[in-house]
Structures are given as C-alpha cells and as structure tokens.
Amino acid sequence: MNIYKTIAETKKFVQHCHQNQLKIGFVPTMGALHQGHLSLIEKAKTENDIIVASIFVNPIQFNNREDLLKYPRTLDKDAAMLQQVGCDAIFAPSENEMYPEPDTTVYEFGSLAEVMEGKFRPGHFNGVAVVVKRLFDIVQPDNAYFGEKDYQQLQIIKSLVKQKNIPVTIIPCPIVRETDGLAMSSRNIRLTEVERNVAPFIYKTLLQAKEKANQFNPDELLHWVINQIKSQPLMTPEYFEIVDATTLLPISNWNECEHAIGCIALFLGSVRLIDNIGLK
C-alpha cells in the first residue's frame, strides 16, 4: 500500500491506473478510522480494481474551531487499518498541499444546505463541497463511497456531482453500529465512560420512533422524540427533523413523500452526535 502526501504523486498513480483500465473506488475520510470506514473499503473492493482512501481533516468545514483542534489525528493507526482491509493507496495531504491559497468557491445547494446541519453549522456544507470536489479532481474515481450516517452530506454530494457533471458514481452505504446500537463515529472516543453507557439511548429512541410512526403524525412524533432525549440528564437535543428523504424538507403529513427519514443531532455531555433512521 502506498501513502501519497502530494497531489502530483497521487495524480501520477491515478494516471497509471487509468492507463491500465483499472477501475478506481474512492473512500474520502478525515481519519480516526473505525469499522464504519472499513466497511466502505470492503464494499468498494467488491466493485473496483483499485481502492484509494484519503485522510484529510478539512479545516474549512469546521465552523467550531475547538472541534477542529480536538479532532483526532491518528495517521499511523489509520494506515495500518487500511492496509489490513486491502486498501491500495492513501492520499494524506497537508493543509498547505490542499489549500496553497484560500478557496473562495461558493456552491448553491438551496434548501438541501439550509435545513438541519446547515442551519446549525453555517458554511459547513460549502466546506465539504469544496474539499470533495478537489478530491474528486485529484483521484478521478469511478465510484465513491459515503456512509448514510451523514445523510444530509450524502445528498449534498449527490447534488454537487450533478451540478458539476463529475463522472463519478456515488454509492451510499448503510450505517454501521456498535453492538449496542450506537452509530459508529470518530467522536465516540471522546465520550466519558458514563456518557458512552447512555449513548445507546439515541438509537433505542429512533427505533421506537419508527414503531410509533403509524400511530403519530410527523409533528407529534417529532415532539415525542425531543421529549425522550430531554428526559436523559446528559443529553441536550439540538434538533430532530422528519424530512422527505430526497429533498430534506420537513413534512407534516406522511402522505407528502414516498420516503421519510428522521434525523437527529444532540449533545451528549460536550460531544455532538448525529444519527438517522428511515421512518417510511
């Protein structure tokens, strides 16, 4: 497995792959890898000849500087994990390599970027779009793999690819959970032992919400979930939204869309966690 630190050497590797008609599968990450990331690599291996992962903590998608500084950076450990699951190459650039000059590109995603995460993290999705577009230009993958835990991000990236006519197929992959139901996240390691013990309550609540969807209308269900989260002393809900799975616009009636999804963000102690579940 090769680790490339520069755009030039990565592009040279990619060019070699294309010259040999090798299909490239790409998994972009910010490192601090867990089984969720590795499941993306494993899925990519079944559909491509060469697997490339990127490890880059993208500063322009953090609207909270403290969050950026606390984000775990574990390149050696990540590389060992990627090698174990058969990744072929890692692109691990420095901030200066990715952004030799500030990037002032502004993307327009309409309501996709204005609800939920977009509402509470202004500028976040523009930062995501800027880095993903750059990574796609460098790696030129045939297929790119993204986890459904970041469901809104997934819809943003699909929109980016469509807008910019990028020749890549976006492959969504299911949420990978711990045995107790907590969605795997690089942030989970920041939870105290007490916080980690109550964390499964999030998924338990989402599962109950799915069961209650045929008894409650969306507004009633929304309030029920918020009240459940508030009942946990260590949890502070930021939002729970029930939205059209395609447009991400809130719904007030189950008949408004073909598929509805419930998306949640909350603080467990000082750690912000997100999750989601299909409701219809």
pLDDT single digits (tens) 33-59: 999 999 999 999 999 999 999 999 999
For residue 98, which of 143, 129, 130 has the smallest C-alpha distance?
Answer: 130
pLDDT grade for 136, boundaries at 50, 70 and 90? very high
Asked if 51 and 168 touch (Cβ cutoff 8 Å), the reply is no
Per-residue pLDDT at 72: 81
Sign of CA dihedral 164, 174, 185, 51: negative
The whole-number average pLDDT for the span 254-279 is 97
Nearest-angstrom CA–CA distance, 194 and 124: 30
CB-count exposure of residue 158 (10 Å: 0-12, 13-18, 19+): middle
Residue 163 pLDDT level (bands cut at 50, 70, 90): very high
Q: Can you tell me the distance from the alpha carbon of 109 to that of 129, in angstroms, rounded to the nearest whole number?
A: 10
**pLDDT at 70 (0 to 100):** 82
List domains and CATH numbers for the chain: 2-173 (3.40.50.620), 186-275 (3.30.1300.10)
Residue 8 above 90 pLDDT? yes
Q: According to the model, what pLDDT value does residue 67 have?
A: 83
Active-site amino acid positions: 37
Cβ 172 vs Cβ 56: under 8 Å: no
Q: 124-139 vs 151-163: helix axis angle to the nearest 10?
A: 60
Q: List residues bridging with 54 in a β-sheet.
A: 28, 91
Bridge partner residues of 96 (DSSP): none
For the record, the structure tokens of 9 come out as: 């050497």
Which of the 8 DSSP states describes residue 177?
A: B
State the Cα–Cα distance between residues 269 and 5, nearest whole angstrom. Answer: 36
Cα–Cα distances (Å) from 152 to 25, 27, 70, 155, 160, in that order, read 22, 17, 23, 5, 12
Q: Give the mean model confidence (pLDDT) for residues 247-273.
A: 96
Confidence of residue 7 (pLDDT cuts 50, 70, 90): very high
Answer for the pair 130, 160: CB distance below 8 angstroms, yes or no.
Answer: no
Asked if pLDDT for residue 259 goes beyond 90, the answer is: yes
> Above 90 in pLDDT, residue 140?
yes
Q: What is the pLDDT of residues 60-69, one digit of tens each?
A: 999 888 888 8
pLDDT tier for residue 71 given thresholds of 50, 70 and 90 = confident
Read off the pLDDT band of 91 (50, 70, 90): very high
Report pLDDT for 63.
83
| Across 95-110, average pLDDT | 96
In angstroms, the Cα distances linking 40 to 120, 143, 210 are: 27, 11, 26
> What does the pLDDT look like over 191-225, one tens digit per residue?
999 999 999 999 999 999 999 999 999 999 999 99
